[in-house]
Structure 1
Amino acid sequence: MLQNKGWKKTFFIIAFGQAVSLIGSSAVQFAMIWWLAERTSSPVMMGLAGVVAFLPMTFLSPFAGVAADRYDRKAISIISDMSMGILALLYAVILYFMDIPIWTVLAVLCARGVGNTFQQPAIQSIIPQLVPPEQLVKANGWTQLMTSGSFILGPVIGAALYAAVPMYVILFTDVIGAAFASGALALVKVPRLPHKETEKTGFLTQFKEGIGVYREDRKLFMLVTAQALCMFFFAPLSTFYPLMTSSFFKLSAFHGSVVEMGFAAGMMVTALLFGSVLKVKRKIGVSYAGLFGIGITSAVCGLVPPVFTGWIIFTVTCSFMGAFGNVHTIPMTAYMQETIAPEKMGRAFSLLGLIGSLSMPAGLLVGSPIAEKIGVHAWFFISGVGILLIAGVIVVINWLRRL
């Protein structure tokens, strides 16, 4: 691991490249999802979009984790990024020459999911190779700060482009972002881990070793369990944001982008605090506090009236939801990066992604019909209550075990 003064330069080159890529990706994602929302006005269709986007992670996460621990993480990240960029370029060319049915958007979202499945555990595993352990909370705070900024700019760019130019032009922002991220990562040197023992074992053995990471750490196991159960309720909400704006509040894509910006702004504030002044010792406890915050804000979002004032309350509450999301994830990520052996890091993070990918489709399959029947706002309230109950039960179980 690089534990010298030079780690910051390398880290920020990678993080900045990823942030630029996220701007392009979030702009394209916003435009595609809004396109679906306007043309279908269906929670079921929006839910289906979320399901197909996460299906690759469900099936491929175990392979992605083993690959991140066995092969060159830098190469995996670059190949994944460039593949998504090439996909966007091909889809843009096809859109330019012909009209394409709605279902093709689902196919593109699914293919993008494949790239993200391999890219995420590789990038997350690279960070602790470069950053000293005592700086991981700050590094993750800085990462989330740039990510939040990307999530603010992405929807703004996506909404502006959606109103001004055809979809095939919007797709080029993804191409540019992927090229920038890959170029930035290619410039830096990432130390390679020795894989002599890993190369002698099969895929199944390596996958079991990844599972063993959570079995050996009871605190982490309980936190991941709480997150998985909470994600069943929380994950579908990101898919329903456009419908809250377009169908519930009867507002435009611009107002939808403001909601996304509010969520990202909340993320940015907490990321800035973690990256600068906050020193977190009890990372697990702080992560649970984030789950409680997510539950409270989600329930409030489900209670607002369908008027413009209600939309303002909804937007402000979403910003707090984004803030609490980082309160949950930043300490948890830093804890994992500190405590998990480097040669098992990729599998540990891919399993975390696998859990999330299973929670998302399950939540959408249950939540979409409910939202279709009684309204998307009702799912926000149900989600808030469910998250609060789950987090509360897990915390009580942990407390009883310590007695």
Structure 2
Amino acid sequence: QLFSLLGSSIVQYGIIWWITDSTGSAIYLSLAAFFSFLPMVIISPIAGVYIDRWNRKLTILVMDSLQATVTFFLILAFFFNISEVWIVISLNAIRGICQAFHFPAVHAIIPLMVPKKHLSRINGANYLLTGIINSIGPAIGAYLYKFSIEFVLSVDIITFFIALVPLIMIKIPDISPKKEEFSFKKDFKLGVKVLKSVPALLILLILISAINLLSVPFNTLMPLFIKSIHNGNEDNLALVLGLINMGMVIGSAFSIKKRYWKHKVKTILLGIIISAGGYFIATISPTGFFFMVGIGGLIRAAMIPVINTNFLTIIQTNVSSETQGRVMSIVIAIASAVSPIGMILSGPLAELIGIIPLFLICATLDMVCVVIVWFFTGIRKVKYEKQEED
């Protein structure tokens, strides 16, 4: 799966930089991000119900195969010079559909193979390896882009076949339910019921949804921020993205070292505050100081594994394996639902008030959200440590 992820990371870099370089438009970048991410919000809750009934290994295999097929059509579009922006955005959106099934299936498998007491460390290891892959992905993409976009896209096909062999060979526990009358509505309601039963989880979901919304401009407009504000090129963008993902590696390594977190809620809130500080550093960097932009992004990204490891462990230790797919899909959908809105608004807002003011406003609101949640909800009284120890 890490080889598959490497291919996806390289391809995503190539597509985003091609749109940035070809159009120079914040609106096109927003549209590309919007249509790529929209399936995660719309399809994930539906996918989760079926993932709990399907063979999860087969689901991953099929989705990886479909994604590689879509990449092959992208290569053909560029090869035959029919690479209109709308074609590239449409095919990238189909890749997003595959990821909407793939992501919850992978995360639903983890609790089946890992004892509860090791979940925090395994989630941390997952983010560590993901961070490493995403650190080298942009660098490889920038190098291959100098030859052609087709070279960039072809890596996804190669890494798919590399990932295919171990996926076929490895045995994954199957807990598909016994044959019974299937009701999507009933199963979906069960997932929502289980979700509500976890203390204060909805408050955390609302908070993370708000933070996700405020993160969208930074993630979506970074290529244009480098090109238009800092007069950079694909190598400069690769450097910044590499440093950002190195932050993921550092945060993940720290998460692995911790056996378990004693104060998960406090850790999540503190992580958001530190992340906002990185947002500020990257935004106020002087023109051409790409390393400073990257360091700000590194600080911001280092908090993501810490926040997500604690959040995922709360879910995985409080929800049964039989309903993991449903609950995880609903959680992903709720936490991600605001992102498409942010993506579609990022471009027009950037052109209206400027990229730098937009970034500064979002970083400030990050901190405001933490203050509101801590002082105006009962989240301070919730403790999840007992469940993990049990």
Which consecutive residues of structure 2, in runs of 5 or more, have no partner in the other structure?
Answer: 383-390
How much does 1:115 deviate?
0.5
SS in 2 for 1:257: helix
TM-score using structure 2 length: 0.93
How much does 1:297 deviate?
1.9
- In structure 2, what is the Cα distance between the partners aligned to 1:318 and 1:354? 25
**Number of the residue aligned with 1:4:** none
Does 49-58 or 149-158 show the bigger shift? Answer: 49-58
How much does 1:201 deviate?
4.1
1:53-89 Cα offsets, whole Å, 9 max, x none, are: 0121222112211111111111111100111011112
Does the CA contact (< 8 Å) of 2:280 and 2:296 recur in 1?
no
Does the CA contact (< 8 Å) of 1:23 and 1:151 recur in 2?
yes
Indicate yes or no: 2:308 matched with 1:308. no
**Number of the residue aligned with 2:27:** 44
How much does 1:146 deviate?
0.8
* Aligned counterpart for 2:122 among listed residues 113, 133, 139: 139
Indicate yes or no: 2:21 matched with 1:77. no
Does the CA contact (< 8 Å) of 1:159 and 1:254 recur in 2?
yes
- In structure 2, what is the Cα distance between the partners aligned to 1:356 and 1:237? 17
- In structure 1, what is the Cα distance between the partners aligned to 2:327 and 2:280? 31
* Aligned counterpart for 1:290 among listed residues 271, 276, 283: 271
Does the CA contact (< 8 Å) of 1:151 and 1:264 recur in 2?
yes
Instruction: Give 4+ residue runs of structure 1 displaced > 4 Å after superposition.
Output: 399-403
How much does 1:367 deviate?
2.6
Which consecutive residues of structure 1, in runs of 5 or more, have no partner in the other structure?
Answer: 1-17
* Aligned counterpart for 2:131 among listed residues 148, 153, 161: 148
Indicate yes or no: 2:174 matched with 1:170. no
How much does 1:278 deviate?
5.4
- In structure 1, what is the Cα distance between the partners aligned to 2:166 and 2:355? 40
- In structure 2, what is the Cα distance between the partners aligned to 1:300 and 1:130? 40
Indicate yes or no: 2:256 matched with 1:275. yes
Q: State the aligned residue count.
A: 382
How much does 1:319 deviate?
0.4
Indicate yes or no: 2:358 matched with 1:379. yes
* Distance change >3 Å, CA 267–CA 401, structure 1 → 2: closer
- In structure 1, what is the Cα distance between the partners aligned to 2:109 and 2:122? 12
* Aligned counterpart for 1:355 among listed residues 334, 342, 347: 334
CA RMSD of aligned residues (A): 1.8
**Number of the residue aligned with 1:368:** 347
- In structure 2, what is the Cα distance between the partners aligned to 1:357 and 1:220? 15
1:34-63 Cα offsets, whole Å, 9 max, x none, are: 011111111111111111001212221122
Q: Percent identity?
A: 26
- In structure 1, what is the Cα distance between the partners aligned to 2:248 and 2:284? 22
**Number of the residue aligned with 2:45:** 62
Does the CA contact (< 8 Å) of 1:245 and 1:255 recur in 2?
yes
Give the residue type in structure 2 aligned to 1:92: I
- In structure 2, what is the Cα distance between the partners aligned to 1:295 and 1:208? 36
SS in 1 for 2:82: coil
- In structure 1, what is the Cα distance between the partners aligned to 2:76 and 2:22? 22
